[in-house]
Chains A and B, each alone.
Chain A
Amino acid sequence: MDNSKVLVDLGNVSIDSLKHDLDNPVHMRYTATFDHDINDELIIQAWTRTKRVYPIIDSVLEYDKELIEYYGSDKKASGGKTRVLLVKTEEGVNDPIKSKVTVAPGTDAAAKRTICISYYERKVTISGYHIVTDGSGLNMIFNTFLFSYLALYTGHEDEKPTVELREGRKPDEYYTSDIKGYIYAQEYNPVPLYSLPSYCKTFNDKGLVFDGNTYSGSLSIPVSEFMKLCKDNGSNPSSMLCVLTAKASYGVNKGETDDVVFVTTLSLKKVLGLNDDIANASSFMVTYASYDDAMKKSLADVTQRIRKDLDMQRTKDYCITHKRMEESYSLVPKFIPKIVTYLGTVSIGDNMKHIVDFSMENDGHYVVYMMQLNDRFIITFQYDNLTGKYLSEMQKVLGELGIEAEITHPVSRITNDSKVAVL
């Protein structure tokens, strides 16, 4: 290996994670819909600028291919690790690909780059490998790209851009490759880990069938009304989303009285003060709602308790303790989780108004996402064959609280990535 070509040494990566990226039919992706058809030339220019801001997105993976084949050949025991590098390449060009279907990163169509852009008519999608970046990292890259494109398209560039635009940085200025080493090097005060109450018992959704595909559906609600609901109850969007999801879950699972346990994703980089970083470093927080919590107690009591539970798990000391515990004890949940992700606000500044829709998709199951796009919150369910039921239950739950939800994306099967451009 020519060391001068190595941009990032990811160290020893679990073969399971690597294989997941190599074989994943639906890589983590964000899609923005503009108010106009995308301009072929401007989109290439915008992506080129983004690559100057984050040069690692123009790299390819280097790893022991024979080892991966060995593991893939006959169900060899998992748990192995292999060294993975991100290296510069002159082969092929990582330009946006015109395609109706998202192109899989790492394929020939994407010039083997691990992060790529597909677009068609008014929609543009970024997708990437999870071992390279996580949801928040991919979002940062996408924001730089969307900002750059709309700046070119409108001729207006914000005076104080809210996205990263610095060019010519070295990878270590925006990419912490050894996040574990970074965490272990931090001074911290160990804190107690959150634990669930006694005999907290979760349940499987009734009639849930996994048919090998991933399904998704979304509804949207006015930001002002949702924020008023949160404010009136002394809660925040994540804790409110948990309780609403629990209500929907008991609605879908009539007669069920076991608890609902939530896992909510957390971007470690912000907690660790690595605000400019796009490396893969997410963690999770845990909380729960019992049947009584969700269906009988006051919304204020329960959302405030959940908010407190989550806040306790959001501190730097907590996250470092949690990650260290994970290294020593793996911390595999004993419960059946419902995953709730609050992505925050999609924001690229003045030109935001040209983005009319935004969505996140991946191969996840039993997940709920919420994000703010302009004056609407978008809530997305990926709940296999129950996605539609959850959507309408959530609509009902919100209706009972006086918020009218509009189903913006009825249930549909998430289209698998394509290895070639589809026109």
Chain B
Amino acid sequence: MDNDIVIADLGLITETTLGQDLFNPVHINYTAVLDHEIDEKLLKRAWDRVKKVYPVLDTVLKLESGSVEFYMDPEVRAAHANDHAYLIAAENGNNVPIKSKVPIEPGCELVGKRLISVSYYDNSVTLSAYHALLDGGGLNIVFTSMLYVYLALYTGHEDKEPVVDLTEGRTVRDYYQGATLEYVFSQGYTPVPLYTLPLGCIGFRDSDMVRDHDSIAAGTLNIPVKNFINFCKDNGASPSSMMCALLAKAAYSLNPDVRDDIVFDVTVSVRKILGLDNTIANSVGLAVAYTTYEDIMNKSLSEISQKIRSDVDLQRTRDYYLSFRRVFCTYKHSPMYKSRTVTYIGKLDVGDNNHHIIDFDLGTNSLYNLFMMQLNDKFILSLYHGKATEKYMNELVKLFDEFGIKAEVKTPVHNIPTDSKTPVL
């Protein structure tokens, strides 16, 4: 590989998420619904500006031994597992917003093989990307930037102190440093012990937490931010530890005969942990926590959620993350437990113009996950639980109600549309 043309090194193919990205029917995507029909020209201008701020978004994938297609064959891919994946400047094609009702598949010809795509229709605009390029947090940074610029163009109002960074001409390193192994091993650290679960704690998943054929089921709930945050505060909980506790409560009431423990993976933002706040690169980590049937039945919600919170906090340090990555560079990371994942993405906030964003949604190829995103005065909870999605949604509404939080079903269970290589109009 000619180093001159490499814009970013994603690391070894095995350490990227390319194995999933290349075949993923639904790449991680965020959708904002605005209070007006999207202005195509302004969106194009906004996207062009964002690409100047983050030129890495306008690159294409280059794999060490050949074309992307070369690696589609599972045997070839396995033989080249230790090849590097690079991002290089695109020589042709164009990555412009595409008018389409369903997300355009990142990496396809229509977007010039860029690993990120913008699609829009009526009042909605969607940003969709390879996980190897960006994680949920990185996607949010780019999404916020795009919406900020678009709304500034649309309203003619720019914030005095924008919440987004619009500096152009930065070097890639300034805003794109993933938690690659190379990075991990370059960091000084103090090794720390890793978290382990109690003996026999292997978690459980509902028998209907499965897909109906290949469809990806999801549903969303809205809850008032103030209400929920106060509730968390009163219990000494963080939003994600509280959601773990509530999901566990829901799980045991939906499975009255189950006595197994319940295990959670809580997504942690590694960019904060590593001090890489500006990076949009993939740098996601997981913290594991659990609760038991006995705890759910006998202990208060504050005790349960605080225990989860302190277990997760223990795993949210720089030394912990670096120790974890190093250990699982020596050993395969193959958890013995069956977990459910809770991901608190953060807040969609473009500043003064935020009130023009009236709704948010996300799409992903998930089965055991709950995502949380704050938009204005609401938390939007997206639940991906396969065939069990609906009953969990209902159970959560009931539980929230018990604790005086008014939850409303924003989107009943539906199947997430799969990415399209051509516009769907």
Contacts and interface: CB of A to CB of B under 8 A. Distances in A.
B358 to A, nearest CB: 43
A192 B192 contact: yes
Interface stretch (A62-70, A218-226, A325-333): A325-333
A194 B193 CA distance: 10
Interface in B314-369: 323, 326-337
Nearest to B182: A198
Contacts of B329: 195-196, 198, 334
Contact of B331 (A191, A201, A327, A329): A329
Interface in B186-214: 191-199
A324 interface: yes
Contacts of B331: 329-334
A324 B337 CA distance: 13
Nearest to B82: A201
B181 interface: yes
Contact of A328 (B182, B193, B196): B196
B330 A334 contact: yes
B336 A332 contact: no
A335 B326 CA distance: 13
Given A180-B199, A199-B181, A321 B193 contact: yes
Interface string A196-217: 1111110000000000000000
Contact of A199 (B185, B196, B335): B185
A202 to B, nearest CB: 11
A198 B181 contact: yes
B110 to A, nearest CB: 37
Contacts of B198: 184
Contacts of A199: 181, 185
A324 B196 contact: yes
Interface in A166-196: 180-181, 184, 190-196
A286 interface: yes
A198 B326 CA distance: 8
A224 to B, nearest CB: 37
Given A195-B329, A195-B330, A190 B185 contact: no
Nearest to A191: B193
B196 A330 contact: no
Does more than half of chain B's interface fall in helix, strand or loop, or is it mixed? loop
A197 B197 CA distance: 26
The interface size bin for chain A is 20 to 34
Contact of A327 (B191, B326, B336): B336
Nearest to B195: A328
Most B CB atoms within 10 A — which of A190, A327, A329? A329
A201 B193 CA distance: 24
A195 B326 contact: yes
Given A192-B193, A192-B323, A328 B185 contact: no
Contacts of B334: 329-330, 332
Contact of B199 (A192, A193, A327, A331): A327
A192 B332 CA distance: 17
Given A181-B199, A199-B181, A325 B330 contact: no
B197 A335 contact: no
A333 B191 contact: no
A321 B197 CA distance: 11
Contacts of A191: 193
Contacts of A333: 330-332
A335 B335 contact: no
Contact of A195 (B193, B196, B199, B327): B327
Most A CB atoms within 10 A — which of B192, B195, B196? B196
A97 to B, nearest CB: 40
B337 A328 contact: yes
A195 B324 CA distance: 10
A329 B336 contact: yes
B75 to A, nearest CB: 17
A286 B331 CA distance: 11
Most B CB atoms within 10 A — which of A196, A198, A328? A328
A196 B325 CA distance: 11
B273 to A, nearest CB: 17
Nearest to B326: A195
Given A193-B193, A325-B194, A328-B337, A334 B332 contact: yes
A321 B327 CA distance: 13
Given A198-B185, A330-B335, A333-B331, A325 B199 contact: no
Contacts of B191: 192-193, 195
Interface string B250-272: 00000000000000000000000
Interface in A100-124: none
B329 to A, nearest CB: 6
Nearest to B181: A198
A28 B333 CA distance: 30
Most A CB atoms within 10 A — which of B192, B323, B327? B327
Contacts of B323: 192-193, 195
A321 B328 CA distance: 15
Contacts of B328: 329
A193 B332 contact: no
B199 A190 contact: no
A259 to B, nearest CB: 12
A375 B336 CA distance: 46
A190 B193 contact: yes
Nearest to A320: B196
Nearest to A194: B330
Contacts of B184: 198
Contacts of A329: 328, 331, 333-336
Contacts of B288: 328
B181 A328 contact: no
Contacts of B196: 190, 321, 324-325, 327-328
Contacts of A193: 191, 193-194, 323, 327
Contacts of A332: 331-332, 334
Contacts of A201: 82
Contact of A286 (B182, B330, B332): B330
B330 A328 contact: no
Contact of B335 (A181, A192, A195, A328): A328
A313 to B, nearest CB: 12
Contacts of B82: 201
Most A CB atoms within 10 A — which of B181, B288, B331? B331
Contacts of A321: 193-194, 196
A364 B336 CA distance: 25
A330 B327 contact: no
A193 B325 CA distance: 11
A180 B196 CA distance: 14
Contacts of B181: 198-199
Contact of B197 (A192, A194, A200, A328): A328
20 contacts: A190-B196, A191-B193, A194-B330, A195-B323, A195-B327, A195-B330, A199-B181, A321-B196, A324-B196, A327-B196, A327-B197, A328-B195, A329-B335, A329-B336, A330-B332, A331-B331, A331-B332, A332-B331, A333-B331, A334-B329
Given A184-B199, A190-B193, A331-B331, 7 more contacts: A193-B193, A321-B194, A328-B195, A329-B334, A329-B336, A330-B332, A334-B330
Interface of B: 82, 181-182, 184-185, 191-199, 288, 323, 326-337
Across the A-B interface, the 4 shortest Cβ-Cβ residue pairs: A190-B193, A198-B185, A192-B191, A324-B196
